[in-house]
Amino acid sequence: MSIALSPALVSHLPTGLLVGGHWGPATGGRTFEVVDPATEEVLFDVADASPEDARRALAAAHDAAPAWRATAPRERGELLRGVYERIVARADDIAALITAECGKTRAEARAEVLYGADFFRWYAEEAVRFPGLHRRAPAGANRQLVQRRPVGPALLITPWNFPIAMATRKIGPALAAGCTVVVKPAQLAPLTTMLVAEVLRSELEDRGLPAGVVNIVPTSRAGDATSPLLTDPRLRKLSFTGSTGVGRSLLAQAAGQVLNVSMELGGNAPFVVMADADLDAAVEGAMVAKLRNSGQSCVAANRFLVHDSLAREFARRLAERFEALRLGPGADDGVDLGPLIDSAAVDKVDELVGDASGRGAQVLTGGERLGRKGYFYRPTVLAGVDPDARVSREEIFGPVAPVLAFADDDEAIALANDTEHGLAAYAYTTSLDRAMRLGDELEAGMIGINRGMVSDASAPFGGVKQSGLGREGGEAGIEEYLETVYVAL
Ligand code: SIN
């Protein structure tokens, strides 16, 4: 049985732009379609913001900024706690919307709602905790006051793969710090983020807080709509999650105004299975690290690097587990894996598999599209993969697990680090010494040892090398929205 969106959700779902506390149409009434990736059917038409609409949203965020930064930190915290409660109370409904626009299974979507809501709970608590300093200068002649101020209106550009969590991970700390925001949700899956904006709008209204604190501008013309904001002096912060290529271009545009930026970019996570690993645990961890959201996650394991002595058996067991998965619409009972986001995603995954098999990799399972409507690709295990195959070098963003063998620890670490990316890494070992070495030497911002998942609202999420700048989540996440001001007196 498949579970549809509830009529109450459908009738109250905002599909316009939220500017200054009011939902309305885009200039000229222009809209774009949001498609269900499991059926290829249009779900909703959504307002398509123009550059002028984006400027109106920034003006609203700018106008609301003085009042918002003047609110008591406790008040900001209580607002976020209120929104957390409302989201958790509606978890099933919101999960249904995530499944509809993004494709992931209902269970995964529900887990994402709780993960996403947790950023509001965490930053409700952090809003009242960020420290300052007051001391006598060492020479004794004066006092030093070091205070933290909100950086100012922020543009938050969010991706489609976790449409609630990637938005709350930015909005939570921004609001807690005292920043007002303009959110530009992903064109492919904007609806969940828009629903969260509506929950925030009504919580702000109920508490008599400024209306323009949260603005949202869905658009099919991302570059055109956001570029003018990056050169507008009213904008003081840019936070982006998406590909390294787009991140580079945004960084270049942000340089003009020396904007404060946070970037969560692409990954190519190694999943290292050492000779002494517990193989059962490694296969279990691999299922999570690879298949969350059908592999469409920046922290998804991209390359499975397995010691020679275990590589064949690891690949065999993983293929057996993949083979047993039920692929289908995420809203259907009993489905383990949903579709990819669009036909371009399926084409790319298929090309990577073709390139790897052309270079000698063996397809143990999968390696093809599912013959039905929707953007489905069979979960795939590739053995004997060339380290220079595209699948080893590029972010796959799909349910494909390439297995590569290594001979010793040095080679494992060298292979793992042989990428310009450095977002996440995973490693399985039963040796404490090896675990410590991997923790020291893997070039990644997040390292899971004997764990296939690292994400947590209370932990710093972000990358090294070309995987990004700054951190989201944890104590570090709020720092991205604060600046330090020193007063000598
Ligand atoms: C991502 O894909 O960027 C985020 C996934 C997560 O937060 O775990």
Please tell me the CATH superfamily of domain 269-457, with its number: Aldehyde Dehydrogenase; Chain A, domain 2 (3.40.309.10)
Q: What integer pLDDT is reported at residue 1 of this predicted model?
A: 43
The sign of the torsion formed by the CA atoms of 328, 334, 337, 342 equals positive
Q: Which atom of ligand 1 is nearest to the CA of 461?
A: 7
Report in angstroms the alpha-carbon separations of 49 from 32, 90, 160: 10, 28, 17
Q: What integer pLDDT is reported at residue 3 of this predicted model?
A: 54
Q: Judge whether 7-265+466-488 and 269-457 match in fold.
A: no
Ligand 1 lined by 241 (C-beta under 6 Å): yes
> Which of 330, 278, 249, 289 is CA-nearest to residue 435?
278
Residue of minimum CA distance from atom 5 in ligand 1? 297
Cα 21 to middle of ligand 1, angstroms: 29
The Cα–Cα gap between 131 and 49 comes to 38
Cα 468 to middle of ligand 1, angstroms: 13
Q: What integer pLDDT is reported at residue 144 of this predicted model?
A: 97
The Cα–Cα gap between 191 and 197 comes to 10
Token match 């499975």: residue?
Answer: 304
Residue of minimum CA distance from atom 6 in ligand 1? 455
Cα 80 to middle of ligand 1, angstroms: 21
Q: Which among 455, 467, 471, 472 is the best mutation to test ligand 1's pocket, defined by most ligand atoms within 8 Å of the CB?
A: 455
Ligand 1 lined by 297 (C-beta under 6 Å): yes
Two tokens at 187?
A: 């064109």
User: Domain boundaries in the chain?
Assistant: 7-265+466-488, 269-457
Residue of minimum CA distance from atom 3 in ligand 1? 298
Give me the active site residues, please: 264, 298
Please name the fold of domain 7-265+466-488: Aldehyde Dehydrogenase; Chain A, domain 1 (3.40.605)
Ligand 1 lined by 161 (C-beta under 6 Å): yes
The Cα–Cα gap between 238 and 451 comes to 32
The Cα–Cα gap between 408 and 276 comes to 11
Q: What integer pLDDT is reported at residue 10 of this predicted model?
A: 84
Instruction: Please give the model's pTM, rounded to 2 decimal places.
Output: 0.97
Contact 38, 331 (CB under 8 A): yes
Contact 180, 65 (CB under 8 A): yes
Residue 206, C-beta contacts closer than 8 angstroms, at least 6 positions apart? 82
Q: What is the DSSP letter of 31?
A: E
Cα 488 to middle of ligand 1, angstroms: 42
Q: What is the DSSP letter of 36?
A: -
Whole-angstrom Cα Rg for the chain:
23
Rounded (10°) angle between helices 73-89 and 165-177: 160
The Cα–Cα gap between 393 and 372 comes to 30
Cα 162 to middle of ligand 1, angstroms: 7
Residue 187 exposure: Cα atoms within 13 Å on the Cβ side: 12
Residue 221, C-beta contacts closer than 8 angstroms, at least 6 positions apart? 48, 49, 50, 51
The sign of the torsion formed by the CA atoms of 214, 219, 222, 227 equals negative
The one-digit pLDDT tens for each residue of the chain (489 residues) are 455 788 888 888 999 999 999 999 999 999 999 999 999 999 999 999 999 999 999 999 999 999 999 999 999 999 999 999 999 999 999 999 999 999 999 999 999 999 999 999 999 999 999 888 999 999 999 999 999 999 999 999 999 999 999 999 999 999 999 999 999 999 999 999 999 999 999 999 999 999 999 999 999 999 999 999 999 999 999 999 999 999 999 999 999 999 999 999 999 999 999 999 999 999 999 999 999 999 999 999 999 999 999 999 999 999 999 999 999 999 999 999 999 999 999 999 999 999 999 999 999 999 999 989 999 999 999 999 999 999 999 999 999 999 999 999 999 999 999 999 999 999 999 999 999 999 999 999 999 999 999 999 999 999 999 999 999 999 999 999 999 999 999
Phi, psi at residue 214, to the nearest 5°?
-125, 125
The 446-449 sheet, strands edge to edge: 362-365, 380-383, 400-406, 301-307, 269-273, 424-428, 446-449
